[in-house]
Structure 1
């Protein structure tokens, strides 16, 4: 059963009755003013007639609205729901209005049944039909807004949580060039300036390369493995200058297939973590090996744990795993046998379809929100049309019946309303239905073929 369905209970019937009562009062006052009712009896009949329309149209369309919402969701099946609402509303409203008109004009007022569709009665029927369609539109728009707000609140909350979580993870990983590393590097540079100016110059050059690489790659999803290995070598040379002979590393210049990709700056984070969590001294040197094994890049180091470091939160490793999880179904492997610590990073050829599908879903969600906003504007426009046009017809027939100028706003505004409806349903007279979606899908597929998988 659709989650948007509202079951008719005593409470919901009571709420519907209160709404219809409000409409009865509003239109009862309007009818009294429009038809010049000044007597108690005339005003009473205005309210009775208003009540017949409000409750007859209101409750019926309320049941229709709830039934249709149980069959088609406003959010995920907008087209079906709109068309079903229009057809059902017209098929219900017009016969009910004519039935109420018959009761009022023939049975109550005693007019001849033969004249029911003649003369001014035709305009009166048209007036009440358009007015009733306006009320029906209001009721459907009210149901739409309730379901839309409920669905959007749930979806927005969900998307905000996901977006904030993923953004935090993403940015955390991209900004993992530890401030402590910068602080320590500046300390090393300060000492080198006094002791060995030439070495200080080399250190500054390599440090600038490291930060330039970070600035260039931080916003990318994947980078060629060759570039990341070059960066890792420069980074390790910096660590070598900092710890001298206490750090040993083996990094290949290239691997079997240099077309393979890797998440940028993941090596930097793993190398810095190795230094951060282990004793680094000439008596207990830290050895780091980087090599390829099948379709993984292995980063392996011996374990000399620092005693005072406390329990690791493993936030950095989790960030790497989560970032890979955003672009591929291949997982990051972590092994610890108390002698060596080994991390296996997947080597990718192209961006996995998971990322494409996630981006596509996000795009669909954004477009759905935009479309719902357009639908809301359309209903407001339609409600205004159905409420204003009857009064224009009345004013025309009451004060200048010789010239029916009301047709101009009916057709002019109606054409604009038609184009608005076509826009909401993504229909172009020249390009056909869903042309925008087709073109966007085509462009996204072309773009996906050029992206990393």
Structure 2
């Protein structure tokens, strides 16, 4: 339940008093012979107080609504156009209602019915008077709400700057994970063994390894890459794993051409595959079963769970890094599921790339 807006009402009262004092001073300067008390108690001052109160209160809520509707700092111009456009209509509406109330339009008097009273009231209104009050309202709004808009504008600039810093930091951490020296060390060991045992496989292994590092260098600075490119790269990485672990790992990757549309974070699929290998036992007796598939707008990496007893201190950093990077680019969360014998991670597939 929302609390009654006492603070907004107090601010509106103070604003209307300040504006009224200004008009009292102006009236006194123009009519020096008129007693000050007569000016203060004049019906127009009551009318001015009501104008000031309701206009300040309504414009306060309008400014907050516009600021929330257009939160980005680049929308500052659009924000001003919408605010002053609605302010024009709002000022006329408030002035009309106050004038109608003070004229007794809503109070039955004599033999006149409401339609007669309304026609009489309309005939008394002057377009120039409404236009003049609208200009005054705009000027006062610039004084009272200009600072509010400017502060929100600077706050969003700072927020965008912080997000940019977080993205740079996340990309740097991701790059360190992608170029894991342990992966390179293990790959070179496997390559060394294959050179003696099977030169043909060693040649294929070297080709796939070079493709992997070429892909890393080409895509490390991108925010998103096409799912098709990431899958093509990951197949080279999976080939290395197949040569390294042979029958100890069973890979199930079936994504059709029609399912390869969309974009994901660069090297995020490779990082998930690397985590599976890093944290699970792989052996001929207990093969690691790795499945990669698409379901709706998510790309899933799923494996049977057979955790290693000893994990390194960096456990969970890679997955956390992916979550942080996705949070900067998409409202869709990274899906994580773990049971006694299954672990799965779902990466959101973004429909189109971002600048």
TM-score (norm 2): 0.54
Which of these residues, 334, 339, 349, is aligned with residue 336 of structure 1? Answer: 339
Tell me the C-alpha RMSD between the 2 structures.
Answer: 6.0
Measured in 2, the distance between the counterparts of 1:279 and 1:327 equals: 33
Q: Is the 8 A contact 1:169 1:322 kept in 2?
A: yes
Give SS of 1:176's match: helix
In the other structure, the counterpart of 2:236 is 234
In the other structure, the counterpart of 2:219 is 214
Query: How far 1:271 moved relative to its partner?
Result: 1.3
Report the number of matched residues: 301
Measured in 1, the distance between the counterparts of 2:47 and 2:247 equals: 83
**Residues 311 and 293 (structure 1), Cα distance of their counterparts in 2 relative to 1, 3 Å cut:** same
**Residues 182 and 61 (structure 1), Cα distance of their counterparts in 2 relative to 1, 3 Å cut:** same
Measured in 1, the distance between the counterparts of 2:248 and 2:291 equals: 11
Measured in 1, the distance between the counterparts of 2:8 and 2:320 equals: 53
Q: Is the 8 A contact 1:300 1:343 kept in 2?
A: yes
Gaps in structure 2 of 5+ consecutive residues:
67-81, 103-125
Give SS of 2:303's match: strand
Measured in 1, the distance between the counterparts of 2:232 and 2:184 equals: 22
* TM alignment of 1:51-200, pairs within 5 A: 55-56=45-46, 58-66=48-56, 68-69=58-59, 73-74=62-63, 75-76=65-66, 78=83, 79-89=85-95, 135-141=136-142, 145=146, 149=149, 153=152, 168=166, 172=170, 176-179=174-177, 181-184=179-182, 187=185
Measured in 1, the distance between the counterparts of 2:166 and 2:59 equals: 37
Which of these residues, 179, 202, 210, is aligned with residue 205 of structure 1? Answer: 210
Give SS of 2:179's match: helix
Give SS of 2:312's match: coil
In the other structure, the counterpart of 2:346 is 345
In the other structure, the counterpart of 1:366 is none
1:369-409 CA-partner distances (Å, limit 9, x unpaired): xxxxxxxxxxxxxxxxxxxxxxxxxxxxxxxxxxxxxxxxx
In the other structure, the counterpart of 1:276 is 278
**Residues 16 and 27 (structure 1), Cα distance of their counterparts in 2 relative to 1, 3 Å cut:** same
Query: How far 1:232 moved relative to its partner?
Result: 1.5
Measured in 2, the distance between the counterparts of 1:209 and 1:286 equals: 30
Q: Is the 8 A contact 1:331 1:346 kept in 2?
A: yes
**Residues 12 and 288 (structure 1), Cα distance of their counterparts in 2 relative to 1, 3 Å cut:** same
Gaps in structure 1 of 5+ consecutive residues:
32-41, 97-124, 352-450
Query: How far 1:309 moved relative to its partner?
Result: 2.7
* TM alignment of 1:11-30, pairs within 5 A: 13=13, 16-25=16-25
**Residues 144 and 6 (structure 1), Cα distance of their counterparts in 2 relative to 1, 3 Å cut:** farther
Q: Is the 8 A contact 1:57 1:132 kept in 2?
A: no
